[in-house]
Every structure is written in structure tokens, then in C-alpha cells.
Amino acid sequence: MTLYLPRTTTSQISEALAAERHSVGGGAMNMVLTLVIVTDEADHYDAVRAATEAGREHPSRVLALIRRDPEAEPAIDAEIRRPGTSGPGEALLLRLFGPLGEHADSVVTPLLVPDAPVVAWWPGVGPVNPAADPVGRLAQRRITDALRAADPVGDLLSRIVHYRPGDTDLTWTRLTPWRSLLASTMDQPSAWVTAAEVTAEPYYPSADLLAAWLSDQLDVPVERKESNGPGITGARLITGAGDIAVRRLDGRVATLSRPDQPDQTVALPRRRASEALAEELRRLDADEIYEQTATHMASLLNRAGVGA
Amino acid sequence: MKEPVMPGAVPNPLRNILDRRLPRIAGPSVLVLFGVTGDLARKKLLPAIYDLANRGLLPPGFGLVGFARRDWEDQDFAAEAHEAVRQHARTPFREDVWRQLSEGVRFVPGELHDDDAFDRLAETVRELDARRGTGGNYAFYLSLPPKLFPTVVKQLKRSGLAESSDGSWRRVVIEKPFGHDLESARELNAVVDDVFPPQSVFRIDHYLGKETVQNIMALRFANTLFEPIWNRSYVDHVQITMAEDIGVGGRAGYYDGIGAARDVIQNHLLQLLALVAMEEPVSFSADALRAEKEKVLSAVTLPEDLAQGTARGQYAEGWQGGAPVVGYLQEDGIPPDSTTETYAAMKLGVNTRRWAGVPFYLRTGKRLGRRVTEVALVFQRAPHQVFSHTDIEEMGQNSLVLRIQPDEGVTLRFGSKVPGASMEVRDVSMDFTYGQSFTEASPEAYERLILDVLIGDPPLFPRQEEVELSWKILDPIEEFWTKNGRPEQYESGAWGPASAHELLARDGRQWRRP
């Protein structure tokens, strides 16, 4: 069931939510977090959908802030999707008119689930300094997505300068299956790794992060090569005894080859937004490895004379 | 310049303790499944293997070998497995994942006593090592009746499959029941022990997954709220229940002669008792946990008068859940004079400072009101009430209920004023459900188990010592029952025989209705 409250206020929205709770008993107490999505009319549909899917794993109150005409009179149009309509959580779509767009925090504050952590997500182009953003300031975890910017690598680099614990970027999250596979290849004895390569489509920050991560953890030179994609198409660890290579040309199934061993195939699908988001919501503490890797990436790219 | 890191050495340079995103993935290995045509394999094991693969937790070099008495080729088994996965897997079906997994699927037809079949099995796993790079690591899952364990274990030894060489490992999984009394448990252990070292033997009780054990540990020891009242000063008594709504059904052959106490109390309920009653382990390691469980199991005391302190029953013909059902003695394959109990209840004590004088009531049965497993700590009444007797007439004792299944969670029951002008206190429930707060449907117990086996994580499952301790608790009761009378008939679909209700009534208490 969806409830429309045009030209409303946050207290009317709170009342509507409370009335809902009284009629069924229980309610928001089961929500584990508030997810604030800062978005626009074009992006909100996919974003709320991804959040709803992720909400099956993390029941949350989703607050989608959709900015409308900044010249209009200040007003809120609310659309409340009750629990059960879209998974176990509830979703509030708030269309903010006029100068309210600049003061979204005042709309968000009264609607946060008590005690539960707050996560802010910018599915489109995010703020350069998420922790200083009015909405970002309210959140323990701030999720951006550099891939959506016009210059993805530059966007990530300019944001990492302002890193605060709790910041994270989906270009890093999308990388987890790759990192996981590469790490597992090194669970078994292998020869010394002397260098590494990462091949991916151009302007793809995940690939630069992967290169930086390998370079940082293994302390070897890592070459970033370009291909036609999709996404990352290969990673290679060059060892004294031969290469450990992962190739994925179709964005779905990868081939793993190791010295003296038969080639193996492994499903390595590209991740959907909801999967990446669900992983982000799983841990709400600071991701030190992300900070370390992104900072290292910045220094590598600066040394090479590219990037921001 | 950082210290050079040595790849392949421990620790893996790509794994960092701060990097919590990376899951632990099993190393290259082959899982050999005996009894692959059984219900368990079809409904639980094969789907669990697929779910693990789908979550990216199985290595690219993974082989699955089925062994059974069927005239199947590899493809036939793969087709069966495919069907089982499609029907029962927890995670969505992805063709890519399945295709990659099925490349490592093999089937070996044969009888368990047939030397040739085991030689073919040995060839098959070696072929997988060569073709799929499974690294010579084998796990054997014995999804078989326990009486067949010795045959299989001896065959594994004879065919050289049990022997590991240069750094590869062998592990074996056996399921409850671990024997039917102390003596047979020891015999079984001797057979397995002869071939596999203790740390390679994984005893699984699928009722009590690792997830549940860890949930109880977290509730008790990660919070400050519960531990101060978790003792004889506040707890009046503890009730541990496992009720099933089904009858023996297809398990008649196995069940008759075993009975509810051996089937459920010996392993499952006594494990729950140990987890609830034990002291805080010094660490979260498997060994520390086991030490505490063994301590508390060795402190369990039996009622002085077994006739008064235990009860047993057999379900009678009747109606359950809106359908007519037959009684135990009328089930197919059950002798009409069987004295096997389908309901067992007992009152145990725990002889420690924390629990002295607090009775632990255990009960389990088939064809009861509904399927439920729970542990309830029932607290003492307030020592003094400012409210008048009539005000609190409808109030019960406070209780904390750990719901194990279905719908795992915690319920806290306490009195609350009924809104209105008059003063009246009535019981209300505060409820927490894992399924609602973290809906990542907790991984099936089997997923955790198989992953632990392949990774070699020390299991939280019982070792031989615990198995023997629990038989020591149960053996005298079984002996007493054998010598004295027959189980009482009880109504199907209700909550057990009258003697079980009297057992608590004698102490001025009553069973909770779960």
C-alpha cells in the first residue's frame, strides 16, 4: 500500500508512520538502519529499487530525497510505501521543492529511526566532501559512486583527499569478488610475485583501485592496461614460476590459470547495484583498507603523472 | 620500503585482518558424498554446495563425487543434482555458477563392501586432481546409517584414500546419532579414530548449527544485560523443548529401538543445556568452548527417583492439525508391541554454584502441537509485591525464551499494566527475530558445516568426550525405562503424556506452551 501526502510536513509524515504502527503493532523497531538516498527524478526509481532489494537483507527505512525545481516555493510531496509493500522495510519518497533542496537535513532529522545507524547514499554524482555534506553529516556511512561522474578516476581522487572514516565508494565494493578470487589464489603456496597487471576498460576507477591494492599489499609494481571491457577483463600476478592469471572477457565467467595446473573456470558476474549496496550495509564501521588503497592509488597516479 | 612479503606463505599477503570484505574461501578440494541418493543429500547437501558456490565461497578447483548403489553415469548424477538444486537451493539459480560447478561433478556406482568400487573412487578423485587441480584434498561425507560407518572407513583405509601425502588433507563428516549408548559410541569412535585423527573428524548435529551456537554465545557473553541474572539467584527453572509435529514416517526402521531420548536428548537437548548452563569460556576458540561444555555436562545430575523425575510416551491415533493420523504402534514397520518412546521428558540438575537447586526440564516428542525448539529461562517471582493479589492475578513468571527454530530469535516475557483506570498487570512479550532484523536468511547449517570442513575450521560440534558424557547421563535412564513398564499413550497434536505434566506439577510448575 502506498500513501500519498502532497504538500506535507515532516510531522504529518511522522504521524502517518505512527498511525501505521498502531494499526499493526510493532513496526519500525525491526528496522536496523535508515538509508538516506540523495537523488533526482531520473535516478530515484533504480536507486529505490536497489535499496529495496538490499533491504531484504537489511530491513531499513529508506528515505529517498528527490530534488525538484529549486526556484519553486518550498514544499514536500511525500509518498510512503508501507512495510510489506516493498520488502520488509518501508520507503519514503520525499520530493523537495525550492530552497528545501539545500536544507534536506532538516527534513531527514525527524524521520530517522531512533538509535539505528544512518547510511547516506548518492547513486548519482556525489559531493566532493561527503562528511561535510548536510545529509552526509548525519550519517555513519556515506556511499558514493565515482563511476557516475564525468571523470570517474578524477572524481574518486578528489574525494579521497577529504576521506573521513565511514566514507566508501561503490567502485571499491564492485571489486570485492575480484579481490576475493585473487586472494584465494594466494592461499596456496606459490612463487614470489614480482609484478602484476590489471586490464580493464579506460576511465574505470575499480581497475585503478585493484592495481593500487595489489601494489600496496604485495609491494610490487603493477601495470594498468586498457581493454574494451566490460569492466575489468583481467588481472595477472607475475611470479618466478609463471603467471597466475584471471581473465574475464564476457563480464560473467572468468578463467583462472596457474602454473603447472589445469585452467579453471569460475563464475564471476558483474555485480548489480543491490548486491553492492547490500555488502556496504553489512558493515558500518570504517573501511581502513579502502582508505589505504585509495590513498595509495592517488600517489601512484600522481607519480605516473596522470589523474587529477 | 616495507618488509618484502612472501606469497604463499602464512599469512597470505592479500589477506589483511582489517579487510573484512573478503570472505574465507575453501581451498582446492574434492567432496566425496556417500549416500548421495538419500533425502538429506537431495534436500540439504547438494543445495548447500550450490549455495556456497553461488556465494563465491567454493574454489574454482572443486570436485564433487557421488557414491551410491545406482547405475548412473556422471551426467545422470549431475542431472539429479541439478534438479535438487533448482528445487531446494536457498539462493537464486544462476546457470553460470551451475555450469562451473557441474564440470567437477563425478559419480561412482558401487556397493560399500565392493573393493573394486572403492578403487574406482580412488581413480576418480585422482583424475579430478589432475584435470581440475583439486590438490589432493578430500573430504568424505558419510550420509549413511551409522552401522555402515565401519565398512566405509575400512574401505577408505584399504584403498589408500584415507592417507594424505605432502601437505594435503583428509577429513571425514559423520552425522548423529553417535552410537546408541556409551559402549557403542566408544566402539564407533575406535573405528573412526583408527583411520582419522580427532581434528579431522567432524561430527554434525544438523539440528544445532554453528550459527545457533554462536547466537547463544553472543547473547550471553556479548551483553551485560543477561549474565547478572543468569544464575540460581534469579532463575527459577529452565525448560528445554524440542517438539516435532510429524510422526516417524519413513524413518520407522531407524527409529524403532532408538526412541526420542537417544534421537534428540542425547545430542541436541544436552548440547543446548550445555550452552545455556556453561560458564563463560576464556576465549571464543573451539577448544575453550568445548572445555566449558564438558565441565558442565560432567556436572549434570539425574533425579534420585527416576520414576518421578522422568516421563515417556507414545503418540496414539488421533487428529493433528486438522487431519487424522495413526498412532505409533500402527505405523508401517513398527511392531505392535514396541516399547520405543516417541516422547521423553526428564528433570536434570546441574551441580555447580551457578545452578545448584535449579531444575532443567528437558522434553522432546513427535506429533506434538507444533514444530518448535526453544530454551526458556523462567525467572523467580518478585520477592515482594506492592500490588495486591488481585492486581497481579493474571501475571505469570518473567521468562526469557531463546527460540532456536523455526523463526530463530529471542522473546522476553514480563508483566505490564493493562491500560485503563483499574490496576491490573498482565504478561506481554518483547520479541526479537533474526529473520526480521537481519534478513540475510542465515545460511543453512549445512552450508556452514561444509564450508568449515573444507576450510578446516575447528568445528564447534561435539568431540568424542562430550558424546561420551552425554551417554553417561542418558544410559541410566534408558536402563531404567527398559526394566520398568511401557511408555504411556498420548494424544497426537497435543503436548505430551499426562505423566510429563505431572512431572512438573509435582514441583508446583508447568510446561510452557511454546
Q: How far is A113 from chain B (nearest CA, A)?
A: 13
Give the other-Cβ count within 10 Å of B497's Cβ.
Answer: 25
Q: How far is A107 from chain B (nearest CA, A)?
A: 26
CB atoms B133 and A261 under 8 Å: yes
CB atoms B7 and A177 under 8 Å: no
pLDDT in tens, A5-63: 999 888 888 888 888 777 765 544 567 889 999 999 989 999 998 998 888 777 788 99
- Please tell me if residue B19 touches chain A, with a CB cutoff of 8 Å: yes
pLDDT of A90 strictly over 90 = no
pLDDT of A242 strictly over 50 = yes
Contact (CB, 8 A) for B514 and B370:
yes
Residues of A in contact with B439 (CB under 8 A): 55-59, 88
Least CA distance to A210: which residue of chain B? B14
Q: How far is A30 from chain B (nearest CA, A)?
A: 5
Give the other-Cβ count within 10 Å of A257's Cβ.
Answer: 16
pLDDT of residue A307: 42
pLDDT band at A77 (very low <50, low <70, confident <90, very high): very high
pLDDT of residue B2: 40
pLDDT of A126 strictly over 50 = yes
Q: Consecutive sets of 10 residues in chain B, 514 residues long: mean pLDDT of each?
A: 42 84 88 88 90 88 91 90 90 88 91 91 92 88 85 90 83 83 89 86 75 86 94 96 87 83 90 94 88 94 93 90 87 89 96 96 93 94 85 86 86 89 86 65 74 79 84 94 92 92 93 89
Residues of A in contact with B59 (CB under 8 A): 184
CA distance B5 to A43: 44
Give the other-Cβ count within 10 Å of B413's Cβ.
Answer: 21
* Mutant choice from B17, B439, B454, B457 vs A, greatest count of A C-beta within 10 A: B439
CB atoms A288 and B7 under 8 Å: no
- Please tell me if residue B7 touches chain A, with a CB cutoff of 8 Å: yes
Global pTM value: 0.82
- Please tell me if residue A279 touches chain B, with a CB cutoff of 8 Å: yes
pLDDT of residue A95: 94
Q: Smallest Cα–Cα separation from A88: which of B435, B407, B89?
A: B435
- Please tell me if residue A4 touches chain B, with a CB cutoff of 8 Å: no
Q: Please identify among residues 239-258 of chain A the ones whose CB lies closer than 8 Å to any CB of chain B.
A: 239, 252-253, 256, 258
pLDDT in tens, A50-70: 998 888 777 788 999 999 988
pLDDT (average), residues A199-218:
94
Domain-by-domain residue ranges, chain A? 2-169, 176-267
Q: How far is A97 from chain B (nearest CA, A)?
A: 34
Least CA distance to A239: which residue of chain B? B7
Q: How far is B60 from chain A (nearest CA, A)?
A: 5
Q: Are strands A118-121 and A167-169 parallel, antiparallel or unpaired?
A: unpaired
What H or E segment, with its residue span, contains residue B116?
Answer: helix B115-132
Provide the percentage of residues in chain B whose pLDDT is more than 90.
45
Greatest Cα-to-Cα distance within chain B, rounded to the nearest angstrom: 83
pLDDT of residue B7: 39
Give the other-Cβ count within 10 Å of A106's Cβ.
Answer: 11
Residues of B in contact with A190 (CB under 8 A): 7-8
pLDDT in tens, A175-192: 999 999 999 888 877 788
CB atoms B21 and A176 under 8 Å: yes
Residue located via cell numbers 569460556:
B281
- Please tell me if residue B86 touches chain A, with a CB cutoff of 8 Å: no
HEC sequence for chain A:
CEEEEEEECHHHHHHHHHHHHHHHCCCHHHCCEEEEEEEECCCHHHHHHHHHHHHCCCCEEEEEEEECCCCCCCEEEEEEECCEECECCEEEEEEEEHHHHHHHHHHHHHHCCCCCCEEEECCCCCCCCHHHCCCHHHCCEEEECHHHCCCHHHHHHHHHCCCCCCEEEHHHHCCHHHHHHHHHHCCCCCCCEEEEEEEECCCCHHHHHHHHHHHHHHCCCEEEEECCCCCEEEEEEEECCEEEEEECCCCCEEEEECCCCCCEEEECCCCCHHHHHHHHHHCCCCCHHHHHHHHHHHHHHHHHCCCC
Q: How far is A57 from chain B (nearest CA, A)?
A: 4
Query: Half-sphere exposure of B307 toward its Cβ, with a 13 Å CA cutoff?
Result: 4
pLDDT of residue B3: 40
pLDDT (average), residues A149-160:
93
- Please tell me if residue B14 touches chain A, with a CB cutoff of 8 Å: yes
Q: Please identify among residues 60-89 of chain A the ones whose CB lies closer than 8 Å to any CB of chain B.
A: 88
Query: Half-sphere exposure of B444 toward its Cβ, with a 13 Å CA cutoff?
Result: 20
CB atoms B19 and A289 under 8 Å: yes
pLDDT of residue B227: 93
What residues of B are annotated to the active site?
A: 268
CB atoms B14 and A183 under 8 Å: yes
Grid coordinates representing A141? Answer: 556511512
CB atoms B8 and A188 under 8 Å: yes
- Please tell me if residue B419 touches chain A, with a CB cutoff of 8 Å: no
pLDDT of residue B132: 86
In angstroms, how far is CA B398 from the centroid of its own chain?
A: 28
Residues of B in contact with A141 (CB under 8 A): none
CB atoms A218 and B130 under 8 Å: no
- Please tell me if residue B324 touches chain A, with a CB cutoff of 8 Å: no
The beta-strand segments (E) located in B269-393 are 300-301, 310-316, 318-320, 323-325, 343-350, 360-365, 372-379
Q: What is the per-residue burial (b if ≥16 Cβ within 10 Å, else e) of B43-82? A: ebbbbbbbbbbbbbbbbbbbbbbbbbeeebeeeebbebbb
pLDDT in tens, B60-115: 889 999 999 888 899 999 999 999 999 988 888 888 899 889 989 999 999 998 99
Residue located via cell numbers 602454473:
A259
Grid coordinates representing A47? Answer: 536507486
- Please tell me if residue B17 touches chain A, with a CB cutoff of 8 Å: no
Residues of A in contact with B15 (CB under 8 A): 183, 187
Phi then psi for B292, rounded to 5 degrees? -70, -40
Residues of A in contact with B14 (CB under 8 A): 179, 182-183, 186, 214, 217-218
Q: Please identify among residues 17-56 of chain A the ones whose CB lies closer than 8 Å to any CB of chain B.
A: 26, 30, 32, 55-56
Give the other-Cβ count within 10 Å of B125's Cβ.
Answer: 20
